Each structure stands twice: as structure tokens, then as C-alpha cells.
Amino acid sequence: MKLSGRQEEIIKLVKEGQPITSEALAEKLGVTRAALRADLAILTMIGILDAKPKVGYIYAGNPTDTAILDNISKVLVGDIMSKPITVNKNTMVYDAIVFLFLNDVGTLFVENNGILIGAVSRKDFLKIAIGGTDIYKVPVGVIMTRMPNLVCAYAEESAYSVAKKIIEHEIDSVPIVEKINEKCEGKEQFKIVGKISKTNITKLFVKLGEST
């Protein structure tokens, strides 16, 4: 897999100023740290860079094997996605919290008549729980992140592209959706058909690593 222009520039900057922090790299490139997360993760994963805690990034040399990165680019989301855990928008926060832990997931996706309308994460539950709100009386529809603000993906996308979305947006999982022909108030509607989480991506890395 060919490195992007920004990834090549990151390597150049690290060689010139190592050790160098992500903050310094972001400043030199004129972007935010968040925008660099995926690139730095990829360069570290394939062995070009090495991340030293509390020190910064150093140049580790040319990658010895990019097979994992090449292969993950060929894997489609539909091949590795898992079943999404969903709740109705009227589900009370307390019940949703119990449901989340029973299913051992980090995010619940919220539906209304089969349409994906939002998502609620452990962070969302923690915020409302410590805020003194009566979680027995507030529905998840009140605290969820609403469409179209969710980061979504399609089954036809590559696993690599979704892994980048998870890193860049610092989220636990991405809903895999299908577009519905009917629109509501002029807005596109989607149904959720699966999810890709950090766990899915980690399992894929392990599987590809064992096969190379």
C-alpha cells in the first residue's frame, strides 16, 4: 500500500527533529492533533515510526513487512462486521445502561421504527449518571448523539477506511448502514445492518498477522 503525501511528510519531519511530539508535528503541518492520529497510528503499526511515551516519535526505519496493511485494505466491512446492539428512543436510561453491560458493548445504537436515529455511549451514560439526573425517568432519545452527526460507514467500504474513522474521531464503534429510499422531511434515512468496533479491527489485525 502506497503511503499518502502527508504520511511521507510526517516521516520527513520525524527524521529531521526526532524525538518529536504529535503536537509539534501538527503545528508544523498546520493541522490538528486529531487529524494526525490515523496517520501516526498507521506509521507506527507498520514499523516506520516508534512511539516513545512522554518523549515523542522517532524514526524506526523502513517497514519490514507491509502485508498486514495491504491486506486490511482489501477486506470489506461487510466481511467482518458484527451485530449491532440497538434500543428504542423511548428506552429509559437506567434500562439502557443495564442492557449495555449485559451485552458488554461500549455503544448502543438508537432506532425508531427501524430507522437509525442516534447512538449513546458509556461516556454519555456516565455524564448523565453523575449529573444528578433521574435515570429512571429520562429516555435515551434525550441524551443520544443524533443523526446526521453520527460517523457511519457502508458494508462496501474497506476495513482500513473504517479503522481510520475510529482513530480520527476517537469512537468505540461505527454503525454500518444502508440508505433507505424514502426520505423524511427531505432528509436521508438509514437502517443499521451491523457495526465495526475496535474489537473487530483488533481481531482482524491478529488474523492477518497470523497468516503472514
Residues 86-100 pLDDT 10s:
999 999 999 999 999
Q: Which residue has the higher pLDDT, 36 or 190?
A: 190
Cβ-contact 92, 138 below 8 angstroms: yes
Say which CATH architecture domain 5-64 belongs to: Orthogonal Bundle (1.10)
- Residue the block writes with cell 480520527: 168
pLDDT mean across residues, the chain: 87
Q: Where are the alpha helices (DSSP H) in 18-110?
A: 22-29, 33-45, 67-74, 77-80, 93-102
pLDDT digit string (tens) for 156-205?
A: 998 888 988 888 888 889 999 999 876 666 678 999 999 999 888 888 87
Classified as helix, coil or strand, 134 is coil
**CA neighbours closer than 13 Å in the CB half-sphere of residue 184:** 11
Provide CATH 1.10.10.10 ranges for the chain.
5-64
pLDDT at 87: 96
What amino acid is encoded at 194 in this protein?
A: G
**pLDDT one-digit tens code per residue, 113-132:** 889 999 999 999 999 988 88
Looking at residue 140, its amino acid is V
Which pLDDT value is given to residue 206? Answer: 75
For residue 59, pLDDT over 80 is answered with yes
pLDDT (0 to 100) of residue 24: 94
- CATH 3.10.580.10 location in the chain: 77-210
User: Which range among 31-40, 63-72, 86-95, 197-206 shows the weakest confidence by mean pLDDT?
Assistant: 63-72
C-alpha grid cell for residue 11? 516521516
CATH of span 77-210: 3.10.580.10
Q: How many whole angstroms separate alpha carbon 153 and alpha carbon 137?
A: 32
